[in-house]
Structure 1
Amino acid sequence: MKPHRGIVELFEEIRRTMVRKMGLALVFSTISCVIVGLILAWIWVGSDGWRQGVQLPLVIDVSIILLVLGAILIYRNLSVSVGEELAIVDSMEKGIDLPPGLLLGSLQLERNIPKGVSLILASHASETTLKILRDSKANLYGSRGTKIDQWKRCASISLVVLGLIVCVLTLVEPQRSHRAWSGLFTPLELSAKPSLPLLIVFPGTADFLRGSDVIVTVNAAEREQVTLFRQTVGDVLIEEKSPVQNAQALFTLRGLNAVTEYWIVASDGSESDRFLLNPTDPLLVTDLRLTVDYPIYTGRFTEEYRGQIPHLVIPRGSRIGIEGMASGLLEKASLLLDGEEKLNLAVDFNLFEGTFIPAQSEVYSWSFSGINGDLAVLFPQPLEVTVVADLTPEVEVLIPGKDTLLAVSRMQPLVVQSSDDYGIQNLEVAAYKTDVFGGSTPNVIQSIPIGGTRSALVHPVLDFTSWELLPGDTIHYFVRAFDNAPSQNIGVTNEYLLLPRTRAEIERDAEKALTAVAGKVEELQDRILEELQTNQDIETASTSQRSEQSTGSTGNEQREILAYEDQQGFRDALDVQRQLLQTIDSLENELANLSENIDLADLGDVDLEEDLGELENLMSELVPQDALEQLEEFLDNMGEMEADRAREMFRELVEDQESLSERLESVQNRFLKAALDQNFRATAAKTEELAEQQNLLAEAITESAETDIRAQQQEGLQERIEDLGTSLRELE
């Protein structure tokens, strides 16, 4: 009979569990290493995928295979070492603190009881050990089991983290992930040597200008360096090397003058075809003649240019002629505008010619090609042409140059200045009339021939004596200038107004002006009388003070000056006197302006002119010419002047004011008389004017169908007649 086998079963279960955990830890570690390989492949693949000939996918695949094989070998070795009975027993005894040899002895007793050993005692010992194991709270696996658990835990964490990284890379850039990992399934195909593209050589076989440099461009993708071999006729073979940058290499063959053969050999041994460079002589265009024919109206002669053509500034309509010669036979010659052909020149062997009329300002470039298709290497500079349009004539009315009143004579002189870039053909003065109702007459044109001069100053006279002007009519006029261009340009001045004034209106204005001046003279006289009374009081007070001082004097002779109070009173009086004299001078200017306006109006009223002349004389005689100067001198020297002398000069001032008051009264009466006479003359002129307008309106009514407008004009005229009747009654 054998004892219970509980310890053996427990031990075997522990050994199987440890081997299983070790196997899982090894699997997790292997898978993590494989994932690391995938991540490295994703990093190394680049954005364009694996290049042909790359060895990395094969290295990664071999590394993964070796890793798996190594994992298998490691598992076999570790499973033996991990499942070793003595190691497990020793680890368990140390983990549970069992006496050394107890667990091993119990296992041996369960497996085989030696002869002479009691079965009951052996079973009891096994059960006791088993009970200790089951009741123990310590780790039955011991330190070896703990290390295996730690390995498994770290491996599983690494697997999860690396798995998440792979998922993230796949989601972020799925195409790159596909290119990286799909290449791992075809490593041998990728590692095979790539098929390189052919060498492309430019210009290949070509012609070049003798003595010029030729640039050879080689497209050599996936090469590091190329070599150019060339041999000129009669010369040795020359070898040049150039690195390949951005799949391209450049060679510059300088100063070639003969036929040259060349070819390219790449660093991988590939070789291009052989090419020839053939020298040709350059096409030169140095003989150029250009003529400019100006429009006839400009009066300018034909101009010719040779060699270097300057910037041409020409009037619109000018014709440009082109002639020239090249150093070789020409196939085509043309003028280009913005890269497109503008003028195709006629070609005859090596000669070319053509004409054109520029429509606008442009810069033209030249294009010449020989019979072999080569372009000219030397030709004229671009032709810059500025087309100047014919300017509009400038015309200005200098005099009067503004809206003004029409003289009674109905003659309006003008001064007109005009100019043009090439010449003025003629001027036209246009005038028309408008009435108060908005109606207007057609333009009346006065033409003034100029003859084509570039500048003219004319003095036309507008004659409106034959025009029928009714109350409220206004004359409009302007001047037009026509140049001598085929399509004439017209310059126009501003439109000005002439306001017709009748004799009656001017006479009435003169009467109002005389009445106004008379009123100002009266105000001046009243003011002088007031100041005269004030000055007499000042003089009296100053004389009384002088008498008191003379009575109280002690007999010592001493130079006496005015007291401060007297000086201040004198100064105030003199300031007022200065203002009065300035007022008289202002009245004289008003009267002079009135006389000037009457002269400009050309009334021909001799009585009015005589009255104004007499009044001007009277005003000029009111005050002596040096009165204001004496007054200023008195003011300046008063502080240093003897008191008696100052009182005497002030007394003279008072006397002058009395005399001025008397003269002003006479002048005022003369102004009133002149104003009354002028009222009679203005009323008489108004009567004549209304009679004339009545006749004109009657004729207009009989000739016009616009009865409503004429009726309104008749009503307005009737009101003016009633006003005239009122004025006549006032005169009576």
Structure 2
Amino acid sequence: MAVLRRQRLANDLPALVLLAVGLLAAGVVLTALLFWSGWVLLGLLLPFGLVVGRWLAGLRRRQLAYAVEAAFPAVAGRLVAALDLADQPETREGYSAELQQAAVRSVEDDMRGLPLTRLCRRGRLVRAGLVAAVGVGLLLVGRLALPARFEVGLANALARDRLPVRFAVVPGDTAVLPGTEVVVECRVEPAGAFRAVTFEAAGRPRKRLPLVDGVARVELYATHELSYRFRALAAVSAEHRVCVLEPLGIEELSFTCRYPPYSGLPEVRSAGPDLVALVGSEFTVTGRANQELSEGRLVFPVDTVELEPGPGRAFTGAFTVRRDDRGVFQLRDGQFDGDWQECGFVTVRAVPDETPLVRVLRPGRDVDLPMSMQLPLLINSLDDYGLGALWLRWDRDSLDRRARIRSLAGRREDTTLYVWDLSDLGLLPGEVIRYRVEITDNDVVSGPKTGRSDVYEVRFPTMEEIYSA
């Protein structure tokens, strides 16, 4: 029986080692890839211990004897009894010691020729080897196919306080206006280790977020201050805050208009936001915000006017009227230097300097040239912001010839009597001279504009008409 026990031990001990290796490898794979607790590995000791206990129980001498009796009919029903006689001969009353020894020797003689190696159960070693091969194969496949998940899962099972997990959160700490939609992104490394992370925010239920290309996204509507973080297993990101700012606003606003000097108009102050001014007028903007400013601007479709922050939340700026326009006040907070905030608007209606008017009151029609060769012209001119110079244009066919009558020096209205001497024009009887009067204004912003009268004709009478008169 001692020989059989040694043979079975030589077979079962390697089988137990292979079984332990296979179970441990399979447990490591499942624990790592499914993020199970390390206690699962300890739990595998229970079934392994049952197997060990069962196999070791089969190595007891009596159990071996029963196995031999079942396998070999030659010793059936006698081997166990012989073992009892050999161990405790005094318990068999009525039998002499010689008879007991003879019975034991008879069984020993029958045992010598039996092939006890048949009872070593080689199948256990084979099955344990298969379990070990499968377990080690799964371990290698899991380690090579999902290295990041395997590494994190193994650390989660064995050292939860040293998980190799890193979080990159954007925008992290930020400050926004009430009602602003904030898109928070969290990149988790190592890539491929997780399929989702948990979003935790104060006063809100936890939310499981899927990872797309290693990034989780969540939209937050900022109505009040909020702290948040991300979690993957026992790893937690740093805690970040979304601060809600008080919206910027304009408490006071005024505009001072300085018209172009040539217009002669006085300075005008207005609270806006609807402004009307002559083209070329300059507006000075002064205002006060409800918070300290870092910078400000007045944005028009074409131009941007910088607003200079001053003490006491004040700001100033200036712009020149060029066209009809609409501008938006944009301010930036002095504490957080956040995004530009729209805080108001202004509309500008540009009033153009109109073209001056001029009329020839007398003669105001086509006439014949008198014998004196002089033609009196009574000219009336008018402009909204001041007249410039009065001109006479004439010629036989075109109006290419020009003479300055006088300068009106910024008057808004004028009536001039001008005697036009035609004696030096060399007119022949029957010839006609065409003429008109032009007036310019004194617009130095857009450039002088010219008003024109109707075109009239002066006819030099024929000799017959002269003598008949």
The alpha-carbon deviation at position 333 of structure 1 amounts to: 2.7
**Structure 2 residue corresponding to 1:348, chosen from 299, 311, 323:** 311
Give the secondary-structure state (helix, strand or coil) at the position aligned to 1:504. helix
The alpha-carbon deviation at position 350 of structure 1 amounts to: 1.1
1:540 maps to which residue? none
Counterpart check, 1:193 vs 2:146: yes
Contact 1:479 1:493 in 2 (8 A): yes
Counterpart check, 1:261 vs 2:227: yes
Residues 641-682 of structure 1: per-residue CA shift (max 9 Å, x gap): xxxxxxxxxxxxxxxxxxxxxxxxxxxxxxxxxxxxxxxxxx
Rg: which structure is higher? 1
Counterpart check, 1:228 vs 2:199: yes
* Bigger strand fraction: 2
Counterpart check, 1:478 vs 2:436: yes
The alpha-carbon deviation at position 380 of structure 1 amounts to: 1.9
The alpha-carbon deviation at position 376 of structure 1 amounts to: 6.3
Counterpart check, 1:294 vs 2:259: yes
2:412 maps to which residue? 453
The alpha-carbon deviation at position 327 of structure 1 amounts to: 1.7
Contact 1:262 1:275 in 2 (8 A): yes
2:72 maps to which residue? none
**Matches of 2:320 and 2:393 in 1, distance apart?**
38
**Matches of 1:489 and 1:207 in 2, distance apart?**
55
Which deviates more from structure 2 when the two are superposed, residues 239-248 or residues 324-333?
239-248
- Classify 1:498/1:353 alpha carbon distance in 2 versus 1 (closer, same or farther; 3 Å): same
**Matches of 2:306 and 2:219 in 1, distance apart?**
39
The alpha-carbon deviation at position 192 of structure 1 amounts to: 1.1
Counterpart check, 1:215 vs 2:182: yes
Give the secondary-structure state (helix, strand or coil) at the position aligned to 2:262. helix
Gaps of 5+ in 2: 1-32, 34-139, 150-164
- Classify 1:394/1:380 alpha carbon distance in 2 versus 1 (closer, same or farther; 3 Å): same
Which deviates more from structure 2 when the two are superposed, residues 315-324 or residues 441-450?
441-450
- 1:435-584 matches, cutoff 5 A: 443=402, 445-447=404-406, 452-453=411-412, 458=415, 460=417, 462-464=419-421, 466-467=423-424, 469-471=426-428, 474-486=432-444, 488-493=448-453, 496-505=456-465
Contact 2:290 2:313 in 1 (8 A): yes
2:218 maps to which residue? 250
- Classify 1:501/1:286 alpha carbon distance in 2 versus 1 (closer, same or farther; 3 Å): same
Which deviates more from structure 2 when the two are superposed, residues 341-350 or residues 467-476?
467-476
* Bigger helix fraction: 1
- 1:7-26 matches, cutoff 5 A: none
**Matches of 2:422 and 2:241 in 1, distance apart?**
98
Residues 498-538 of structure 1: per-residue CA shift (max 9 Å, x gap): 22113524667xxxxxxxxxxxxxxxxxxxxxxxxxxxxxx
Aligned length: 307
- Classify 1:402/1:418 alpha carbon distance in 2 versus 1 (closer, same or farther; 3 Å): same
- Classify 1:492/1:340 alpha carbon distance in 2 versus 1 (closer, same or farther; 3 Å): closer
Contact 2:170 2:185 in 1 (8 A): yes
1 or 2 for the larger relative contact order (CA 8 Å, sep ≥6)?
Answer: 2
Calculate the aligned-residue CA RMSD, in Å.
4.5
Residues 296-331 of structure 1: per-residue CA shift (max 9 Å, x gap): 33243333222x511x34223312111111222222
- Classify 1:253/1:490 alpha carbon distance in 2 versus 1 (closer, same or farther; 3 Å): closer
Counterpart check, 1:206 vs 2:174: yes
1:305 maps to which residue? 270
**How high is the sequence identity, in percent, across the aligned residues?**
22
- 1:14-163 matches, cutoff 5 A: none
**Matches of 2:349 and 2:254 in 1, distance apart?**
19
Amino acid at match of 1:379: C
Residues 184-239 of structure 1: per-residue CA shift (max 9 Å, x gap): xxx96998126489654332122344x545524235687765431122xxxx5742
**Matches of 1:443 and 1:301 in 2, distance apart?**
36
**Matches of 1:377 and 1:450 in 2, distance apart?**
49
Amino acid at match of 2:435: Y
- 1:165-204 matches, cutoff 5 A: 192-193=145-146, 195=148, 200-204=168-172
**Structure 2 residue corresponding to 1:424, chosen from 387, 392, 416:** 387
**Structure 2 residue corresponding to 1:393, chosen from 356, 366, 385:** 356
The alpha-carbon deviation at position 389 of structure 1 amounts to: 4.7
Amino acid at match of 2:201: R
The alpha-carbon deviation at position 292 of structure 1 amounts to: 0.9
The alpha-carbon deviation at position 273 of structure 1 amounts to: 3.4
The alpha-carbon deviation at position 488 of structure 1 amounts to: 4.2
Gaps of 5+ in 1: 1-52, 54-186, 509-602, 604-732
**Structure 2 residue corresponding to 1:329, chosen from 281, 285, 292:** 292
**Matches of 1:349 and 1:190 in 2, distance apart?**
65
Contact 2:196 2:216 in 1 (8 A): no
Residues 40-86 of structure 1: per-residue CA shift (max 9 Å, x gap): xxxxxxxxxxxxx9xxxxxxxxxxxxxxxxxxxxxxxxxxxxxxxxx
- TM-score if structure 2 supplies the norm length? 0.52
- Classify 1:363/1:254 alpha carbon distance in 2 versus 1 (closer, same or farther; 3 Å): closer
**Matches of 1:273 and 1:339 in 2, distance apart?**
45
Give the secondary-structure state (helix, strand or coil) at the position aligned to 1:297. helix
